[in-house]
Amino acid sequence: MIPEFHYRVRWRASGAHPGRHASHQTGGGYEFAGHVPLATFPDPRNIDAHATLNDPFGQLMVKTFRQRSAIPVFVLADLSASMNFAGKPQMLAELAAAAAYSAYRSGDPFGLIVCGEAIRWDLSLPLRWHKGGLPSDTAESLAKIRPSSRNASALGEAIPHLGRGKALVLLVSDFHLDDSFLEILLDALRPHDVVPVAVWSPAEYESLPDWGLIHLRDPETGRQRRLFMRPSLKLRFRETFRARRERLIELAARHGAREPFFLEGRFDAEALTRYFYET
């Protein structure tokens, strides 16, 4: 069973397609928007006698209401080589499947753009209403993929494909990215509602041995290093990730994104729901 999470946005949708989000569109909703002359909005069912009597020009006045509209939902995913570690592709696949299903349940169109050095169109999905959520073959391909790109530069190239209207964008990465690139990317994404989703594995910093030799390999440069683990070095690994967490929170706030959601070890739909309603 695909897990579902609930999301909300604090901005008004501009699309005309009905949905469940507050909107600028006038229509058959329940949120009072004001009075206009009957000639402007010819719906005699909404004639307001009190507003009509008080109109200085003697016009028939009607109540108008704002409808609730759909919003575009995207997963914009980093598929650089560092994402090929300790189950990260599986976590990405689970998140993408849950996002697509949650958008379907909310009546929102969903799109998936997967990026390494180039956009992986073979793994991506166009923005549309995907009945039932993410196609099973796409979810399986994401879970089995072994990222090998040296960088995620195509994330920037993907931004025009998000469309002109404001969208909810889940930016999924382990964020082992250069800060200057990340700042440029977040700035370019400012027109959208961006949720950085940091995919981290405890094996990177928590599940290391207290003592013994370990071999480390940088997946994006191919460089290898052998380390003799000891408690003080293990603590340094933990402190490095703690500092990175704080840095990501700072960068997101400075560049107009939401506070990052940290996906560590496994996808938890309930935790993501709490994130949207508590932050």
State the average pLDDT over residues 243-258. 95
- Mean residue pLDDT across the chain: 87
pTM for the complete prediction?
0.83
pLDDT band of 15, cuts 50, 70, 90: confident
State the average pLDDT over residues 237-266. 91
pLDDT above 60 for 204: yes
Per DSSP, the chain holds a count of helices (H) and strands (E) of 7, 10
Percent of the chain at pLDDT > 70 equals: 87
State the average pLDDT over residues 185-198. 97
Please state which of the ranges 109-118, 120-129, 144-153 shows the lowest mean pLDDT.
Answer: 144-153
Positive or negative, the CA dihedral 200, 205, 209, 215 is: positive
* Burial class for 48, CB neighbours closer than 10 Å (0-12, 13-18, 19+): middle
**What is the fold of 73-278?**
Rossmann fold (3.40.50)
Extract the tokens encoding 238. 């933990």
pLDDT for position 189: 97
Question: Domain map of the chain by residue range?
Answer: 18-69, 73-278
pLDDT tens track for 33-59: 788 888 888 888 888 888 888 889 889
Q: Which residue has the tokens 């706030």?
A: 253
Extract the tokens encoding 62. 């009607």
> Alpha-carbon distance 70 to 52, whole Å?
33
